Every structure is written in C-alpha cells, then in structure tokens.
Amino acid sequence: MSSFDVVLAVPLCWIAVGLFGLSSRASRAQHARIFFPLGALGGLLLMAAAYPALSGEPHSLVLPLGLPDLRFHVRLDSLAAFFLVLLGAVSAGVSLYSAGYFDKGGGGQIRLVCFQYHVFLASMALVLLADDAYLFMVAWETMALASYFLVTTDHDIAQIRSAGLLYLIVAHIGATVILLCFGILQLGEWSYTFDAMRHNTLAAGWASAAFLLALFGFGAKAGFLPVHVWLPEAHPAAPSPISALMSGVMLKSAVYGLLRVTFDLLHLQLWWWGVVALSLGLLSALFGALFAAVQTDMKRLLAYSSIENLGIILAGVGLTVLFHSYDMNALAALALAATLYHCLNHALFKSLLFIVTGSVMHATGHRSLGKLGGLIRFMPRVAAAGLVGTLAIAGLPPLNGFASEWMLLQAFLLSPSLPNSYLSMLVPVATAALALAVAMAGYVMVKFYGVVFLGLPREELARAHDPDPWEQAGLLWLALWCVVLGLAPMALISATDPIASALVGAAIRDSVQGSSWLFLTAIRPERASYSALLLLAGIVLTVAMTFLLVRRLYHGRVRRSAPWDCGFAPLDARMQDTAEGFGQPIKQIFEPFFKLERSQPSPFDARPLYRSRIEDRIWYWLYVPVMRAVEWLSSLIGILHHGRIHLYLIYSFATLLVLLLLIQ
Amino acid sequence: MNAGFFVSQLLQTVLAVSLAPLMLGWVNQCRAWLQNRTGAGVLQPYRLIIKLFHKDAVLAHNASWLFRFAPYTVFGCMVLAVSIVPILATDLPLSPVADLIALVGLFALARVFMALAAMDVGTAFGSLGARREMLVASLAEPALLMVFFTPALISQSTALTTIVETLAHRELTLYPSLAFAAVAFVMVLLAENARIPVDNPSTHLELTMIHEALLLEYSARHLALLEWAHALKLMTYTSIGIALFLPWGIAPAGQWAMMPLSVLAFLVKLLLAGAALALLEAVSAKMRIFRVPEFLGMAFLLAVLGMLTRLLLGSAG
Amino acid sequence: MIEIALVLVLPLIGAVLLALKGNRPWAAELNASMSLLTLLAAAALTARIISQGPITAWHELFFVDALNVFLVALTAFVAFTTALFSRVYMRVEQDRGKLSAARLRLYHSMYQLFTLTMLLALLTNNVGILWVAMEGATLATVLLVSLYRTAAGIEAAWKYFILCGVGIAQALFGTILLYLAAEKVLGAGGTALLWTHLNAVQSQLEPNVLSIAFVFVLVGYGTKVGFVPLHNWLPDAHAEGPTPISAVLSGLLLNVALYAVVRNKVLVDGALGSHLAGHLMMGFGLLSVVVAALFLSRQKDVKRLFAYSSIEHMGIISFAFGVGGPVASFAGLLHMSAHSLTKSAIFFAVGHAAQKTGTQLIDQIRGLIHTSPAVGWGLMLGSVAILGMPPFGLFASEFLILTTAVQQHPWATPPLLGALAVAFAAIFSKVQAMVFGETTAQRLPHPPALVPVFLHLLIVLLLGLYIPPYLADWYRTAARLIG
Amino acid sequence: MSFPLSHQVINLMACLLLLIAFAMLAQRRILRLIYLFALQGLVLSINTAVVALATHQPHLYFSAGLTLALKVVALPWLLHRLIDRLNIRWDVETLLNIPTTMLVGIALVIIAFNLAVPISQLAGTITRSSLGIAMASVLLSFLMMITRRKAVPQVIGFLAMENGLFFAATSATYGMPMVVELGIALDVLVGSFIFGIFFFQIRETFDSLDIHHLEKLKEKA
C-alpha cells in the first residue's frame, strides 16, 4: 500500500463516510460524534501520506471512469502533494471541530450537511489529484456545488439564499472560463490530459489568452478583484466550519489551479503576465485590508481579510512569473516558496479564526461585533487560540504569518535586479503597497480581537463559556500548527524544494543558501536572515529575567480596584469603542475608496442616531451595469414573442427568403 | 563564535538598556532649555521608574492575564530590538536573528500587545488610544520599510550589520538617496515614538493623546516597564538611524581596539541626536490627528523618492 | 425484422385499444404497459443492432443503424417513464375535475399514436415517410395541447398547428426537391427517396438543388426543433399542454425533428462538399442559444421557463452537429440523450410541484423542499444537471462542445459563454427560489411518481461519470455517421 | 403527336395555377375563396392526369383521382359545411391592403423564378417552367396565410400551399412514390379534420373565428 494508494483512498473514504452519514438514522449528536471524527482521521491520513510525496517521483494512474476516450487521469506530484498536505492538515482540524459544532444544531439536517461536507472534502482532493481537464472540471464544479449547498444550509433566511445564489453564479461563470482556458490548451481530438497539454507549444497570443482566462477563472474562485463580490457574502452565510474550509482550502485550490496552468501546462511565461498578476494581487490586497477595517460583522471582516491574503498570494505568483520570465530562476524559486508558504499559513490561521468565530457565535448567539466583548474572561481557551490566530494573521513574529511575508518582502527587494528598468523601479513601489496592506492587516486584527475578546461585553453574554472538547481539539490542532510553522519555517520550505525545481527550474536551496533549521535566509545569510526560534527565545528570556528581577528586587503586590479611566464616572460598556468607531479613521482617510452612506445626528436630536453603510464601488461600476444591460436586452427581446400568429408566420417566411437569397 | 561576540553583545545590550532613560531625560532636558525652563534634570526618568517599581500595582477588576502579561512582552521586545541593532560593533551574535524587516515586525509585535492590553479593561480612552496608535503605526510601518529599503538596495542586504559594514567600512561615498531616506526616517521616528508633532508625550489631554492613552490603566511596575520600554524604543530608533545614516565609528568585526572609541562616538551621536530631536519638537506644533496621515504620507513619498533616486543613479546614488 | 414490426405495431395496437377503452379507470395502466412492451421491443431491436450492425427491412423500407437505434431506444424509454408519470399526474387532474374520462381516452390513444409516429420517423428509410411521420406527430399532439380546452390552450394549439403545419410544408417542398435531384441519379421510383441509396450517391447529386432543398428542410423541420426565430409555438405549447405532453415534446419530438435535420445535413454536406449546412446549423444554434438565454431571464411561468431552456439546448446540440468532427458530434449526441432525459425529469418534478401549489407561476411556488423534499430535490438536481453542472452528463457534452469550439471557431465562444452565463443565472435564481425558503405547497391525494425523475437523473449522472463501452461505441459510430 | 400538346397543356395548367394563386391572394369573399380553392384542385388533378398520360405512369392517374376526390370535392364541401354551420359569410379582412399584397406577390414570383432557374435546367423536359411556378404558388399561399386575419382563410391558404407542393411533386418529378403520396393525402385529410375540430373549439371558446382573439399568449413586459 504505497502512499499514493492512500492518497487516492482518502477521497473515496470521504465519499463513503458521506454516504453512510446520509443513510444513517443516528441521532444528531451521535451522528456528529461518529462521522466527522472519521473525516478528521481521513484528513490526518491524507496529510501523512501526501507529505512524503512532496519529494519523490510523480505517480499517475488512469481510472476506469470518465468519458470513453477520456478516462479519469490522476497524478500525484510535488505541487499537488503540497496542497494535499494543506487540505489534510486543515480538514483534520476543522472536522474535529465540526464534531462538536454540528451536534448543537446550527445548520439544517445533519445528514445532508455531513454528506455535502465530505463530498466537498473529496472534491477538493480530486481537484488537486486530477491530471486531465475533464476530471479537473468535474471535481472543480462538484466542489462549487457542494459548497453552495453547504452555504445555503440555513436557506430559510433570504439573505443566505441570495448569498448562495451570487456565489454559485460567479463560481459557474469562473468555471466556464477555466473550461475555455483548457479548450485553448488541448490539442483537439480527445487529448485533454494535462500530459498532452504539457507537450503542447502554443503561440504567444494563444498562451496569453490561456493565462488571462485562467487568471479570471481561478480568480473568480480565489476572490481576486473584480470578481470578489461573492466572497464577503458567502463566507458569513455559511456555517463556521464551512467558512473555514472555504476560506482556508477552497481558495487555495484556485491558487493551485493558477500555478498548475501557468507554470506546468503553459510552456512559456511572458513578463507582462507577471505585471498583470502583481498589480491585480496588490489591488486585491489593499482593497481587502481597507474593507476589512470597516466591517462590523466578524465573519465579513475575516472574509475581506481573505481577499487581502489571496491578493498577497497572487502578488507572489506574479512576482514568480516576472522572475521566471527573465530566467532569474533562483529568485523565482524564492518568490514561489514564499507564495506557497503563505498559502499554507493563511489556510491554517484563517480557518482557525473562522472556527473561533463559530465558537463565539455558538456561545453568545451574536456575530455582530457591536454586541460582543470581554469574552477572554468567559472563554479563555478560545481566546487563547484566537490570540494565536490574530498574531499570526497580523503578520507578527515569531508566528507563521510573518515568516511567509518576510520571505515575500525579501523577494520583492530583489526585484531591482530585473533587466527591465521600468519594472525594477515599479516593483519596489509595489512593495510599498504590500507593506501597507500588511500593516493594515495588523490594524484589522487588533480591532477584531480587541472588540471580540477584550473590554467589557457590549450585551449580556454571561452564559458564554468554553466549547466542548471536540471543538477545543480542533482549535488546538490548528493553533499548534500556526506556532510550529512560525518557529521552524525552514523545515517545510526546504521540503517544497521539488516543487520549485519542477515549476521554475531552480531549487529553493539555491535561493536560500546557508539557511538551517534555525535560520531562514534569502540568497545569502549575510544578505538577510531571520530566526523565529531565537527571536522567541530572546523575548521569553528577557521577559523571564525581567519578571524575576522585578520580583526579587521589588515585590509582586497587586491591588484590584475600579478602572481609573482619567477619573471619569463609573464605566459602562457603551463607553468603549465599537467596531464602527474603530474603523472610523480608516473610513475617513480612505473615503474615496468606499461607497459610503452616512446619516449623522444633529446636536439637537432628541435621540441622536448615527447610521453608516459601506458599499463596494466595484459592484456599482461593473456588476450593476451588466445586469442592467441584460435586463434591457431581455425586455427588448420580449417583443419577438408578440403573440400574433401573423408575425410568427412572417418570421419563418423572412427566414426562408433570407436563407434562399443567402445560398444563391 | 568566540567569547568576544558575547562580550560585545552583552556590553551593547547592557549599555543600551541602561542608557535609554538617560536619553529620554536628555531630550526632555533639552526641550526644557529651549523653552527657557530649568528641566527636571536628565536623571528624572530613572527616578520615575524606580518610584514606580516601589509602588503597589493597581489593576482594574476585569483586567485579564493579557493586561498583566503585556508590559513584560513589550519590554522584552524592546530589549531584544535594541540588542540587535549594531551600536558599538558589527559582530553581534544576535544580529542574524532579525534583519530590518524582522525588526519592524518586532516593533509591530510590541505595539499590538500594547494596543490589546489597552483595550482589555474596556475604558473609553484605552480603546481610543489603541485605535489611534494602530492607525499611526499602520501608516508609519510602510514608510519605515521604504526607508529601510534604500540602504538595503545600496548594500544588497537587509541585515543591519551588513549595511553598516558596507556604509561605514568601505571607501567613503555620499549617497544622495540616503538623504531622502534620512529625512523620511526622522519623520517616522517622530510618529512612532509619540513625539511632537504627531503626539505630545507630556499631556493627558484626551483629545490629543495617543500613546499616553494606552498607559492610562497601568500603574507601578507595569507602568515602569512600559515607560522604560518607551525609552528603549526611542533609543532603538535613534541607534538604527545612526547605524543607517551616520555609521562611522562603529567598530568592524573583531577590532577590539576600536571599542572604546566606538562607545565614545556612540555617546556623542546620541547627545547630538537628542538635542536635534528636542529642537525639532520645540519648533513644531502638535498637529490634528487627521493631519497625521498626510505627514506620514509625505514621509512615505520621500522614502520612495530616495529609493527611486538610488535606482536612477545606480551605484552612484 | 420482427423487432421492428413489434416496435411499430405495439403502439398502434395500444392506440386502437385505448381509443376504444381509454375512458376506463385502468386505461392509464394499459397505456403504461403498452409503452413498456414497446420499450422491451426497442431494447430487443437495440440488442440486435449492437450484435449485428445496421439492418434494413421490407425491401429497404426500414433502415436501422447506430444513429437512429439509439434514438429509438431513448424514445421508447422516455415514452415509458412519461407514461408512468402521467398515470399519477393525470389521475390527479381528473380528481381535480380538470379532465373528463372522454378527454382521457383521447389523451391516452393520442399518446400511443404520438409514440408510434416518432418511432416511425426514426425507423423509416424513406425521406417521404419520414415527412409523413413528422406531420403525423404534429397532428397527434396538437389536440393534446388543447386538451384542457382553455382559451390559452386552444390558442397555443392553434399556433402550434399552423406554424408547424406551414413549417412541415416547407420540409415537404425540400423533400420534393431532394427527390428531384436524386431521381436524376437513381432514376424514378422508390429507391430515390431511401437514405441508404441517397448516401451512396451523395457526391453525384446536383449541389444547387440540394442547397435549396436543404434550406426548405432546415426551415421546415427547424420549426419543429424550435430554432429561433421559428420557435414561437414552442413555449406556448409546452406551457399550456398537460405536463406529460410537455415532457415528451421537449424530450422526444425536438430530438426527432433534429434527427431529420441532421440526416439531411449529412447528405447535403456530402453533396456540396462544402460545409454550408454545417454553418447554417451553427448559425441557427448560436442564435437560438443567445435569444433563448435572454428569454429565460424574463419568464414568470415555470413550464415556459423550461421550454425556453429546451430551445437553448437544441441550439447547443445543433451547434455541436454544425461544428462536426468526431468530438463535437459525439458531444452533440451525448447532449441530445442527456437533455431529453433531464428535461423530461424536470417536467415531471415541475408537474408535481405545480399540482402541489396549484399554480405554474414561479413566484407563487416556494419552499418545495419543506413539504416534499423528494420533489424539491428532484427539481433542484434536475436544474443543476440541465444547467451543465457536473458530474451530470450534460456537463460532459458541454465540456466537449465548448473546448472544441474554442479551437475551431473562437469567434463563437464569447456569445456562447455570455448566453450560458445568463441562462444559468436566470434559471438557477428562479429554481432556488422555488425549492428553498418558506413553503406554499400542500400535500396531494396521490403520492408523486418520483421513480421516473430519479431514474432519469441517475442515468444522466452515469453518463457524466461512466459511459458503458457498448454505449460508447454506439455514440462513436453514430458520430462517425454524422461526420 | 401528343407530346407537344401535353407539353402546352401542362404549361397552361401551370399558368392557370399561378393565376388562381393570385386570385386567391386578391380575393375578398370567403365563399369565392373556397371555390377558387376547388378550382385549383381541379386544375391540379387535370394536370396530374395529363402528366400521367404524357409519361405513361399509371400511379399518377391514381393520384389524379385522389386529388379530384380530396381537393375538389371533399375539402371544399367540408369547408362549405363549416362556414354554413358557423355561418361566417363576411368579407375576408386582410392585414395588408390588396394592391400592396399583389406587389409583394409579384416580387415573390420573381424570386421564385430566379431560384428555380438552376433547378429547371435539371428538371425533365416536360416541366421546365412548372417548378418555378410551383415554388411561386407555395410562396404566394404563404403570403396569403400571413395577410389573412380570420381562421378559415388561413386554413385555405395552408391547403393551397399543399396544392402548390403537390403540383411541384407531380410536374417537377413525375409524382412521389405511391406510399408517400398516400401518406401525404392522409395527413392532409386528417389535418383538415383537425382544422374543423379547431374551428368549433375556437368558435365555442371565443364565439368568433377572428384570430386576434388568439393573441393572448405573449411575453408580458
């Protein structure tokens, strides 16, 4: 039983679990307790089996399914293996969590949820394993479909229905575009396998078309501008574990697809592709950060932050293309490594944060930041996990978020060595945008954590308490990986070596010489180096020393009293900053970016009322006009079907004459 | 890796940590002089800190572990930061631990803990301070990175030691790009260290305060640590500035003879820098909070300009 | 031989029996069982073709090859399942007093007659008889469309009759021209109208005449296929007729008409040596897809909605056949079969939904999934399948069609893409609203006939994931015939 | 020396047919329309007979008889019965005024003839011109269907179109094979029965045979 077999077996097991779940008549609690842990087990297996495949020959296999002349081809190479590890790691945590989450209700009939959940997992695994366009598309759309049904679990709420609808429409259009991209890549006559595509040499024009189609199609799934609109709607609508999987893994499958097409299936890369991807990525990153900063719903906030992180990842991809198109492969490898690593990190901390919000919602029944607060005292464990996630996503050392961003910035810093002078000047500026986005993320996450867990509860939340062991296990698992990957980045980055050598023809080893398990370096140690472990050690050491010294030299006496607060009147929760208030400066500074509706109270109002609504300009610039156009056309076309039989006869008469004259 | 490393490391750390309050005192003293006041004396910060250590800590009822944990973390971060910057000599065992970018990250870590702690008690001012602090920081951070990138480009490295080696110990060349960077750096420094014109360290007027609002609920040893950390931060920034823009006099690797000299040079630079800072603060007025973005935007612009000049002029820039 | 006879005679017997006894309570069962027998005969015929290859019968009056036997099997199958569905559906209609026993008699015998005409059209080797059968199909269904005798029903039927009648007349003229051309080569008399002989002498036929002939045939049979702008009868007839009839119209009649067009296309392209016919079909297909998509987004009546979706899919199929080549033709055939299965399944579900809610208006049908999950899921999954979502068979064909189109006719992809997107948004937004949310539906006296729905969907699912070898060979040979 | 004679006769019949088609197009009174239709049938059957005579094709006699029975006797009688039963004797209202219709008709004839030229090259010596005329009369009856507002004239137009087709079948090709002929005839018969049924249905639902009652099914804006 090779690791390949295991990897293939896991999706099947997931489907089986789903089917059993669908057919079983167990009670809700039993159901959750039995099937989701099984799913988690599958995740662990997948992770364990895929990791060795990172380094090692690609295995491939042809299944006796699919179209007659186009059987399902599966292939496990290092790139797929990496994302499979990602999937396994995240799904293990989330499934554990779900075992606790779904037995408390909060989402339709558990049997359906269980089925769709596991089909969702399996389809994601198959997307990564697919080695021909057909299986890929089947898995891809199944993924979309399963997630759609999961998003609309509570479909009695109109808002959730419309969110799901928007999601599925965008997803399907994206999928069709990807399909066209494969249409360009294939050689005709049933040669749809990726293997055939690899040997297909396209003209630059066609290749560019394919790349742009792929960028659009996969972007629609990853939530790049301007096809991001579904994301902040769908993520909050879904049950939290689902949001976690969607944000954590599904978006990454889009990144995988983009990488697969750009570096594996297309035989050439042009520099301007890189520029397009880079600028699009940075735009998305800034956009996501800004909008996240002004959200008042914690899941929306996280959704926008997903847009931001995916933007960063896309920028990384763009940089890789840029370097690779100029044959600066070592640098390309560095950028690629950073990108992949950020994928993994984002998967972990974002899903962690999403399930944290799940626990919070279950404990308090609220998801609006305006109602929460002070939970660190009611649910300390969740708060601790949340803190890890927050620090990680805010890109703070020594956690994993920082490691990948550090590498990415290093890669950006190397860009001046590009031969094209425009690029070498523009890319540093792009770096600034990236830096701004990262800094914004810090702002956003302080807002998130501070408003949810710190301060005083803004509503009565006394019944809030830590969740059951299953949920805690899930939280622990993901938080643990955030820390581990933060402290020992090199371990995994060096493991991704084969990917870089396969895709950009240079091993990361070349781009990070002299780095050890302890030190993460870029190019040369003296060029730049960073060691999270020592950093942490240093901090811990100093903290410990200071603590002891203070205790020894002085004392540790503590008195409790009411907060001082500049000697104001006794405090109440309403005096704190709300999420609204916390976002206000951003709103004010970056006002042009938002479509803002505000009604401010006048000083003389009996009951002063402040209302403000933030909307997405892109929606009004792009989507509304398109919808209008379609409406207009269809209202126009209505005249065709006018009801008068003479008219219909004239149609067919005219058609006849036109055709007759046509063929003359 | 002989003992020498650790000696110099230890020396630098101890020196920096112990001198930090002095630096702060010196700046305040200069300001007093410039305002025709007899100041409290350069040792005032020490007195303050010691006094605070003696007091009993008073915590709000609902203060969580985060609140008590934060001061130590912040202090720890700052100590680590200051011991990474090459102040006396470039051969520091700790310097490979974090390059400039990681240093920025370290500051960010401290800041975030600070802000979270401020929000913990749930006072109006705490969250107000946190919000403003994060706002200023999120705008200052990119500018700071940009500032760092110029020397990084010159020396093909983001490791401070390498930069210093390149700038100080090669044949002396003047980099116009660094001029831009330097100005931008000063602006960022003012913002990050809560100095006028961005913030006024010597006021508790709720409308204007940023950094002080974070400390409102703290008392005794926690407050002491935070004050000290604040001083350390100023120290660190100054020494980074020195390392980047006036690195001459920092001892190259393994030259113990130069050590005393470099200590002396360092002290002189500190004095000058402090005086200059005081002067800057004295002549400028505190600006409205929403002017700050423009201020930092300017800094950011200058930094980018610096980098572009560097790219334009190539090796001569 | 005997199978062919059975396939044709059984429905005839059924028609006669039901014309006499169609008003009895067991008429529905009789109807279903006759359809079942027909299905069995068709299955036997199919088996024979698979084992023996093409056959002709009765001095070449009948000709069965891969292309039409697969349609015969499909037709017999859908006719049978629809009969099962109509058993329940019509009973409810009768209980609701919408239909008298006499009407049911008409309905049942006409149902069998309709099956007969379609099978005849498929099986015959004679272009003229094909025409006769097509006309017969119209005549058999036209009274069923106005079965309820409502004003709208009669109007729909009238339009159906006139438009298709005129259309079919064009087709006859085309056929005559074809005969005119053929007779010069094959000499007067029967043989000049036989596919088998015509195909043999394709290249010698007079191109001018054939191109004109094809125009008439295309416009003629195209009217029945529902090509825009000849489609106007289609949504009315689907919406106003009883649901089983909508199901067979969409699922079978359109296919048969398209089959007639395709047969002629093969002939004409062979004769002209150009790709004229193909391009015409592509043009009509594209136009139909785009216009139908736009129509979809403004429908208020659920049956009209899916009628327009049929037009759209016919457009896709004829586009595929127009593109031609092994892959596209394969895809066209696959799409043909998958579409008729899915669409009829959808109509079954829609029929039940309409009966439960007592209306066909989309915005009065809500939350089916609450009162009857099976119907709700049937409709949802059916729509998902019809919209070309995997792993259903329609996705497979759309996948092949689009990918081929990108390479061979890139210009066609943008309108196709846009139309598919619009259609998706239009249909799914409406279906979601009907299936999810608070409910307006109530229980029915009779349990809904869900076996046909899920049976069809299951087959379509299989077509997407695994096509059994013999079926695949069958598609391949058929695709080769179409070229 | 009958060949040239038959040739002339056939051409004469063809021209008559065209004439009748125009007459129908111009016709305002419904009864006359029916008579004209019957006349057309008659011409058709004579023509068929002549062709049969000329080409010695026995089955054409049969179809000539069939035509006579069906299109000269049965259908006109049926229609007559209908309009008696439904007592509709009013004028035929047209959508387009007659002169315009005629002009369009001329245009159609030109088109038809031009289309027919290449085919006529191919067609047998007897019937050089007839195919064009057949196509013309088909198109003319189509035009008539379009321009008539009442149900009955539309149906007559439809049947006239059938006649045109039949004429094409007999004169261009010496008639279709027997099976097909029978089939077609059957279809026509059943068709016209169903028309009859419809007239009654329409009548009892809308108590009028005016088509404009049948314009309810449309896309509501």
**Cβ-based contacts of A631 with chain C (< 8 Å):** 297
Give, for C56, the enclosing helix (H) or strand (E): strand C55-57
Q: In terms of pLDDT, which residue wins out, A509 or A147?
A: A147
Quick check: C151 and D206 CB within 8 A?
yes
Pick the residue from chain D with its C-alpha nearest to C187: D173
Nearest CA distance, C234 vs chain A (angstrom): 11
Quote the ipTM score. Answer: 0.91
Q: Find, in chain A, the residue whose alpha carbon is nearest to that of B128.
A: A577
Residue D30 domain boundaries: 2-214
Number of domains forming the structure of chain D: 1
- Chain B residues whose CB is inside 8 A of the A556 CB are 57
Does the beta-carbon distance from C438 to A156 stay under 8 Å? yes
The amino acid at C232: N
Cα torsion angle, A320, A322, A327, A330, sign = negative
From the list A176, A188, A638, the residue facing C417 with the nearest CB is: A176
Which tokens go with B144? 């700071």
Average pLDDT of the segment spanning B79-89: 88
Tell me what pLDDT residue A490 has. 84
DSSP string, A351-389: HHHHHHHHHHHHHHS--BTTT---HHHH-HHHHHHHHHH
Looking at mean pLDDT, say which of A455-464, C37-46, C182-191, D101-110 comes out highest. C37-46
Most D CBs within 10 A among A641, A644, A659, hence the mutation to make, goes to A644
Supply angle C-alpha A434, A440, A443, rounded to 5.
155
Task: Report CB contact under 8 Å: A68, C223.
Answer: no
Nearest CA in chain D to C157: D198
Instruction: Give the bridge partners for A521, in sequence order.
Output: A529
Smallest CA–CA distance, residue A662 to chain D, in Å, is 11
In terms of residues, how long is chain D?
A: 221
Interface test with D, best of C60, C138, C166 (most D CBs within 10 A): C166
Asked if A550 has any chain B CB less than 8 Å from its own CB, the reply is: yes
Distances (CA, A) of A54 to A79, A120, A502, A503, C138: 7, 23, 11, 13, 64
Query: A399 with A482: CB under 8 angstroms?
Result: yes
Q: Which positions in chain A touch D95 (Cβ < 8 Å)?
A: 646
**Residues with Cβ within 8 Å of residue B42, at least 6 apart in sequence:** B22, B25, B26, B28, B29
Residue position matching structure tokens 């699912």? C461
Query: Helix/strand/coil (H, E, C) string of C212-274?
Result: HHHHHHHHHHHHHHCCCCCCCHHHHHHHHCCHHHHHHHHHHHHHHHHHHHHHHHHHHHHHHCC
* 3-state class (DSSP) for residue A23: helix
Decide if D174 and C188 are in contact by the 8 Å CB cutoff.
yes
- Bridge-based pairing of strands A558-561 and B57-60 is parallel
Which chains border B (3 or more CB–CB pairs < 8 Å)? A
- C-alpha to C-alpha distance for A240 and A106, rounded to whole angstroms: 10
Say which of D142, D211, D219 has its CB closest to residue A653: D142
Contact: D135, C236; criterion CB under 8 Å = no
Identify the closest residue of chain B to A391 by CA–CA distance.
B109
pLDDT digits (tens, 9 = 90+) for B211-255: 888 888 888 889 999 999 999 999 999 999 988 888 887 877 767
CB contact under 8 A, A183 and C476: no
Shortest distance between the Cα of D221 and any Cα of chain A, in A, equals 7
> Which chain B residue's Cα is nearest to A445?
B112
d(CA A292, CA D213): 60
Q: pTM (2 decimals)? A: 0.93
C167 contacts chain D (CB < 8 A): no
Helix ranges (H only) for C273-324 are 276-296, 302-323
Cβ neighbors of A1 (< 8 A, separation 6 or more) are none
D189 lies in some domain: yes
Write out chain D residues lying below 8 Å of A634, CB-based: none
Contact across the interface for A432 and B300, Cβ inside 8 Å: yes
**Which pLDDT band, with edges at 50, 70 and 90, does A569 fall under?**
low
Q: C129 to chain D: nearest residue by CA?
A: D180
Q: Does C424 touch chain A (CB under 8 A)?
A: yes
3-state secondary structure of C366: coil
User: A660: which chain D residues are within 8 Å (Cβ-Cβ)?
Assistant: 111, 115
Nearest by CB: A443 against B58, B66, B138: B138
Relative to beta strand A70-76, strand B57-60 is unpaired
Residue of D nearest to A640 (CA): D219
Closest partner CB to D177 (pick from C155, C159, C193): C193
- Which residues on C lie below 8 Å from D142 (Cβ)? 166
Inter-chain residue contact A546 with B225, CB threshold 8 Å: yes
Q: Which chains lie within 8 Å of chain D at 3 or more CB pairs, if any?
A: A, C
pLDDT at B171 over 80: no
What ranges make up the beta strands (E) of chain B?
57-60
Handedness of CA C337, C341, C344, C350 (dihedral sign): negative
Q: Which residues of C touch D135 (CB under 8 A)?
A: 173
Of A139-143, A384-388, A523-527, B313-317, the least confident: B313-317
Can chain B be said to touch chain C, i.e. do they have 3 or more Cβ pairs within 8 angstroms?
Answer: no
d(CA D20, CA A616): 70
What is the structure's pLDDT at D1?
A: 38
CA end-to-end distance (rounded Å), chain A: 69
* Closest listed residue to residue B306, CA positions, set B163, B167, B153, B177: B177
Question: For chain A, what is the mean pLDDT?
Answer: 88
Spell out the SS3 assignment of D33-82.
HHHHHHHHHHHHHHHHHHHHHHHCCHHHHHHHHHHHHHHHHHHHHHHHHH
Nearest CA in chain D to A635: D221
Give A641's pLDDT tier (boundaries 50, 70, 90): confident
Residue A455 and residue A563 in contact, taking contact as beta carbons nearer than 8 Å: no
Map residue A186 onto helix, strand or coil: coil
Q: How far is A131 from chain B (nearest CA, A)?
A: 40
Interface of A with D (CB under 8 A): 635, 638-646, 649-650, 653, 657, 660-661, 664
Nearest CB to C167 within list A172, A652, A663: A652
Q: Please tell me the predicted confidence (pLDDT) of residue D2.
A: 44
Residue D71 resides in a domain = yes
Q: CA of D194 to nearest chain A CA: how many angstroms apart? A: 18
Taking CA–CA distances from A644, the nearest residue in chain D reads D215
Give residue A637's pLDDT. Answer: 86
Of B217, B227, B215, which Cα lies nearest the Cα of B61? B217
Pairwise CB contact (< 8 Å): A641 & D216? no
The mean pLDDT of B64-73, rounded to a whole number, is: 91
- Tokens linked to A602: 């006048």
Question: What is the SS3 assignment for C46?
Answer: helix
Any chains having at least 3 CB pairs less than 8 A from chain C are A, D
Q: How confident is the model at residue D89 (pLDDT cuts 50, 70, 90)?
A: low
Q: What are the pLDDT tens digits along chain C (483 aa)?
A: 788 888 888 999 999 988 888 778 888 889 999 999 999 999 999 888 888 888 888 778 888 888 888 899 999 999 999 999 999 899 888 888 888 888 888 999 999 999 999 999 999 988 888 999 999 999 889 888 988 888 888 889 989 999 998 898 899 989 888 888 888 888 766 678 888 888 888 888 888 888 888 999 999 999 999 998 899 999 999 999 899 999 999 989 999 999 999 989 988 888 888 888 899 999 999 999 999 999 998 888 999 999 999 999 999 999 999 998 888 999 999 999 999 999 999 999 999 888 888 888 888 888 888 888 888 899 999 999 999 888 899 999 999 999 999 988 999 999 999 999 999 999 999 999 998 887 776 766 667 778 888 999 999 998 888 888 888 888 888 888 887
**Closest CA of chain D from C390, distance in Å:** 32
Is D219 contained in some domain? Answer: no
Contact C28/D at CB under 8 A: no
Instruction: Produce one character per residue of A188-224: b if its CB has 16 or more CB atoms within 10 Å, e if not.
Output: bebbbbbebbeebebeeebbbbbbebbbbbbbbbbbb
Q: How far is A641 from chain D (nearest CA, A)?
A: 6
Residue that is written with structure tokens 């006072």 in the block: B123
How far apart are the C-alpha atoms of C342 and C453, rounded to whole Å? 8
Query: Is A635 in contact with C298 (CB distance < 8 Å)?
Result: yes
Chains A and D touching, counted as 3 or more CB pairs less than 8 Å apart: yes
Cis peptide before C207 (omega within 30 of 0): no
